[in-house]
Structure 1
Amino acid sequence: MKANSLKVLVLLLTGILISASTPNKNHTEKTKFVVVLDAGHGGKDPGNRGGGFKEKDIALSIILKIGKELEKNNDIKVIYTRDKDEFIPLDTRAKIANDAKADLFVSVHCNAHNSQAYGTETFVLGLHRNQANFEVAKRENSVIFLEEDYQITYDGFDPNSPESYIGMTIMQEEYLDQSILLADFVQKKFTNDLNRSNRGVKQAGFLVLRQTYMPSVLIETGFLTNTSEGKYLNSTNGQTKVAGAIVGAIKDYSHSINLGVLDNLENNAKIEVIAQENKIKEFTDNYEGITFKVQLAASSKKLEPKSSNFKGLTPVFREKEGKLFKYYFGATSSYSQIQSLHEQAKTKGYKTSYLVAFKDGNKITVNDALKSQAK
């Protein structure tokens, strides 16, 4: 009896030692940048069929190409809401992203219109400000009519009723800045790299975005109803280029938002702090009551805002906004000075940094800041 008890004790101790010496896989996974890729429509829902094409097939092809490229990066984990032709309810797509505690949710679609309209547009969650945006949201949300008990699942939401959108709870409010940032990266890649017509970053009430709890965008990659654009999107070449642009935007965003580039800096014993030439310079274009800053990055990671952690940049400020820590370089009422600091940040490697503005402690757009009276 004692011998058997001793064997059990030895086995238990061995198991504990093995467990302690084995790397924590879940911990490793959590350090990765998690991207959930959502191919619009699928299965019994073909999406729009402009030009005789099927939106569901094109969206899936583009998503799989995006995923294949992202998976080459060991720091990125890719999750698909669907990787084949199947019907996935909108709330299930959001649940997949929420359960994965994703850093990003990217939904890909193709547009349609009763004209030869063309161009790309990327949406973030919000109330539509014009009829065109409402029509896009209404079309994409109408998929819920194919779901059983959709009235219960979506609390009586009616895609065709403007009142339903007015009453929509904006669950994503704290992620809006990050969603707009990603959307802007996407549109710039389409415009600058592919020479596509830019219809802009827009807001509308998409159900699939409403229920996600992370920065989320819905990308309309072009119009299948446009003769040339439909053929482009249905071609392997077109899909590869569109996917490549979205991959580039996601990478730019992750570098800006995830602070992954800073992980190695914490362990770097010596970082040369280069003296800043022209540090003392007179700037007279002051905007009274306005503070401009350069946003270097944002992350759930709390990092000391010292120069050695930010490639020698100083001063750096850390502020908590929602669930994220945001890291700002500089603080000035001079627009020309903040532009100079922005250039300095970019030469240090912060290529995706951007300007932000505050008035009386509240964030406003830089355009609104510049509209105020210069002193």
Structure 2
Amino acid sequence: MKRIFLSITIILTLGVNSTINAQESENEQFIVVLDAGHGGREPGKVAKNGLKEKDITLKIILAVGKELEKNKDIKVIYTRKTDTFVDLFVRGSIANKANADLFVSVHCNAHYSQASGSETYVLGIHRNDTNFEVAKAENSVIFLEDNYKENYGGFDPNSPESFVGLTLMQEAYLDQSIQLAKNIQDNFTYSLKRKNRGVKQAGFIVLHQTVMPSVLVESGFITNNDEGKYLNSSKGQAEMASAISKAILKYKNTVESNISEATYSIEEAIDITPIPSEENIISNVVFKVQIAAGSNILEPKPSNFKGLESVSREKEGAFYKYFYGYTSDYNKIQTMEEYAQKKGFKSAFIVAFKDGKHISLEKALNQGSK
């Protein structure tokens, strides 16, 4: 099993052998389960002007499904297609029974201020109080369900301690979930020009119930005057749905290829203070630029990597990772990262090693600042 490195900054790559990353299916269709948050007696967030989360999420999800169903090799399953209440554990069960390749849940955010923007979550222990509050609000729906204590093993949405065990079942799919989340956020940000609140981790119980790559999309704030109008409009819903469906198609194409570019760090906007020039060299730490990862073994020669020299290869579990550069000079590795991106490895990122073992970039830079 591939190892996943978890630290304050979490950096993961996407292995793209379709027999590993996609759920095996009895047919050749790629199965996507679409989940419209809330519904029925549970409206979700409600704005002062009367906008209800459950109505907007359903319209977006139905539009996403309509786009995906244009592809004959994709099968779309909905957890709800009408204004009905569906237990969270049932939503996950629908995806698991279908042996789905992806689970995508769409929600709307709310705040007492004029906060705005879209964010996409993967399952994980809450990384800060804000993420915990978002998850707690979404998870509180279980109190409306019959026998929720039995169905969720005593899980308490109001207790941070309850989140600790949530990640275990989803860890095997975390890197794929991050890739899909990145695709969605990229489309929101660059195609729709929406405010990007990033890819984040939180303990959403609906994601915990699934055993496939899964994401929860907070499409925007219905409490924001402009964003609420946008999300409630036919134009806004169509654009959001198109962005999500295109992200799913990109993910599908990626996992069905043999190798992908390296991906993403969770909560991409990580604050890293540049090291002054006189402190460029960090002893006992080696920096590399990760440019790719995949299940197929490639010779680390320039012709295989768009002309890049000094490429190295390491095996990690079932996957091979490919790195460009080898230096203790942080400024130099930043320059190499920029060069790799210009050569076409758009998602290349810097990784750090100490004594031959992977460490977080933040830890490496903190060591250099001592």
The answer, yes or no, to whether TM exceeds 0.5 is yes
Q: Which residue of 1 aligns with 2:5?
A: none
Q: Which residue of 2 aligns with 1:303?
A: 296
Q: Which amino acid aligns with 1:189?
A: N
Per the alignment, in what secondary structure is the counterpart of residue 260 of structure 1?
coil
Amino acid at match of 2:138: E
Identity of aligned residues (%): 51
CA 1:147 to 1:194, structure 2 compared with 1: closer, same or farther past 3 Å?
same
**Counterpart selection for 1:184 from 182, 185, 206:** 182
Which one-letter code corresponds to 2:298 in the other structure?
P
CA 1:102/1:296 → structure 2, altered by over 3 Å: closer, same or farther? farther
Aligned pairs for 1:56-75 within 5 A: 56-75=54-73
Once the 2 structures are TM-superposed, how far is the Cα of residue 74 of structure 1 from its aligned partner?
4.2
Superposition deviation, residue 316 in structure 1: 7.5
The corresponding residue for 1:325 is 319
Q: Distance in 2 between matches of 1:113 and 1:339?
A: 37
1:45-90, CA deviations, whole angstroms, 9 ceiling, x for partnerless residues?
2222213122112111111211222233345443322233222211
- Shift of residue 33 of structure 1? 3.9
Are the equivalent residues in 2 in contact too, given 1:178–1:215 (CA < 8 A)?
A: yes
Distance in 1 of aligned mates of 2:252 and 2:242: 15
Name which one, 1 or 2, has greater alpha-carbon Rg. 1
Higher helix fraction: Structure 1 or Structure 2? 1
Structure 2 Cα separation of the partners of residues 318 and 95 of structure 1: 37
Contact 1:332/1:338 (8 A) holds in 2: no
Aligned to 2:246: 248
Q: Partners in 2 of 1:313 and 1:214 — Cα distance?
A: 36
CA RMSD, aligned part only?
3.3
Q: Contact 1:305–1:316 (CA<8 Å) still a contact in 2? A: no
Paired residue for 2:351?
A: 357
CA gap 1:180/1:363 in 2 versus in 1, 3 angstroms: farther
Distance 1:227 1:79, change over 3 A: same
Is the 8 Å Cα contact of residues 125 and 172 (structure 1) preserved in structure 2?
yes
Greater length-normalized contact order (CA 8 Å, ≥ 6 residues apart): 2
How far does the alpha carbon of each residue in 1:14-70 deviate from its partner, in whole angstroms, 9 at most, with x for none?
xxxxxxxxxxx96542xx443322111122222222131221121111112112222
Aligned to 2:78: 80
Q: Which residue of 2 aligns with 1:213?
A: 211
What is residue 339 of structure 2 aligned with on the other side? Answer: 340
Deviation of the 1:204 alpha carbon: 1.6
> Which structure 2 residues correspond to residues 1-375 of structure 1 after superposition, within 5 A?
28-29=27-28, 32-50=29-47, 51-166=49-164, 168=166, 170-256=168-254, 258-260=255-257, 289-298=285-294, 302-305=295-298, 317=313, 319-321=315-317, 325-328=319-322, 330=324, 332-333=326-327, 335=333, 336-344=335-343, 346=344, 353-355=347-349, 357-360=351-354, 361-365=356-360, 373=368
Contact persistence 1:317–1:329 (CA under 8 A): yes
Point out where structure 1 has 5 or more consecutive residues left out of the alignment: 1-24, 263-284
CA contact (8 A) 1:355 1:366 kept: no
Q: What residue identity is the alignment partner of 1:340?
A: Y
The alpha-carbon deviation at position 131 of structure 1 amounts to 3.1
SS at 1:132 equivalent: helix
Contact 1:39–1:81 under 8 Å retained in 2: yes
Structure 2: 5+ residue stretches without partners: 1-23, 260-279
Q: Aligned residue for 2:11?
A: none
